[in-house]
C-alpha cells in the first residue's frame, strides 16, 4: 500500500524583512512555481489574503527560521508574531516548515540559470518560497505526513 498524499493547492511564504516571496503548487503537488513578491508592510497580509482567495489553497506553508544544526534561530519570536497574524488574517490552516538553506538553494538555482545578481534580488524570495514548497511536498509524498507543524494561535 502506498503513502497517502493530500490533494490540494498549497501556498508557501518566504517572509523577509523587506519582501515576502510567494509560491504555489498544483493540486497534485507535481509542480511548485513562483507567484509573486509582496513588499513587507501594512498591506502584506491583505495581499496574501487576496492570493489565498484566488488560489484557494488547502493550507499555507510559512518558512520557519531554523539554524544549520536544526534549532530555532534568533528570528523565531518575530516569525511567531507573523504566524499568529497570518493565521488570524488568512483563516486557513497554517504550517510552519524548516526554511534552512532555502534562500541559499534558490540563489544557486538562479545563478545556474544565468540570472544576474540584480535580477535575482527581485525574484530570490519567490524562488526561496518555491524551494520551501518543493521540500514540503517531497516530505509529504515520502512520509504521508504534512511537513512542519500546524500553527495555532497559541503557537
pLDDT digits (tens, 9 = 90+) for 102-153: 555 545 555 555 655 556 666 778 988 999 999 999 999 999 999 999 998 5
d(CA 83, CA 87): 6
Written as nine digits, the cell of 90 is 488568512
pLDDT of residue 76: 83
- Domain extents in the chain: 10-144
Question: Residue 117 corresponds to which cell in the numbers above?
Answer: 545578481
Question: Measured between alpha carbons, how far is 155 from 149 in angstroms, rounded to an integer?
Answer: 10
Enter the pTM of the model. Answer: 0.85
**Can you give the pLDDT at residue 61?**
98
Task: Compute the distance between CA of residue 84 and CA of residue 88 in angstroms, rounded to an integer.
Answer: 6
Q: Provide the pLDDT confidence category of residue 155 given band limits of 50, 70 and 90.
A: very low
Q: What CATH number matches the domain at 10-144, 3.30.420.140, 3.40.50.670, 1.10.1020.10, 2.40.128.30? A: 3.30.420.140
Kindly list the distances between the CA atom of residue 113 and the CA atoms of 107, 121, 138, in Å, as whole numbers in the listed order. Answer: 10, 14, 23
Amino acid at each position: 500500500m502506498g503513502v497517502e498524499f493530500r490533494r490540494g493547492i498549497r501556498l508557501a511564504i518566504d517572509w523577509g524583512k523587506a519582501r515576502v516571496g510567494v509560491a504555489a503548487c498544483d493540486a497534485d503537488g507535481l509542480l511548485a512555481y513562483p507567484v509573486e513578491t509582496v513588499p513587507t508592510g501594512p498591506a502584506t497580509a491583505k495581499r496574501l489574503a487576496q492570493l489565498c482567495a484566488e488560489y484557494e489553497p488547502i493550507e499555507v506553508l510559512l518558512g520557519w527560521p531554523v539554524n544549520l544544526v536544526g534549532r530555532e534561530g534568533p528570528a523565531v519570536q518575530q516569525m511567531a508574531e507573523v504566524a499568529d497574524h497570518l493565521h488570524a488574517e488568512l483563516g486557513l490552516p497554517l504550517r510552519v516548515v524548516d526554511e534552512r538553506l532555502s534562500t541559499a538553494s534558490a540563489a544557486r538555482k538562479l545563478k545556474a540559470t544565468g540570472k544576474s545578481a540584480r535580477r535575482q534580488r527581485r525574484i530570490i524570495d519567490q524562488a526561496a518560497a518555491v524551494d520551501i514548497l518543493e521540500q514540503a511536498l517531497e516530505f509529504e509524498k515520502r512520509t504521508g505526513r504534512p511537513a512542519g507543524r500546524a500553527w495555532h494561535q497559541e503557537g
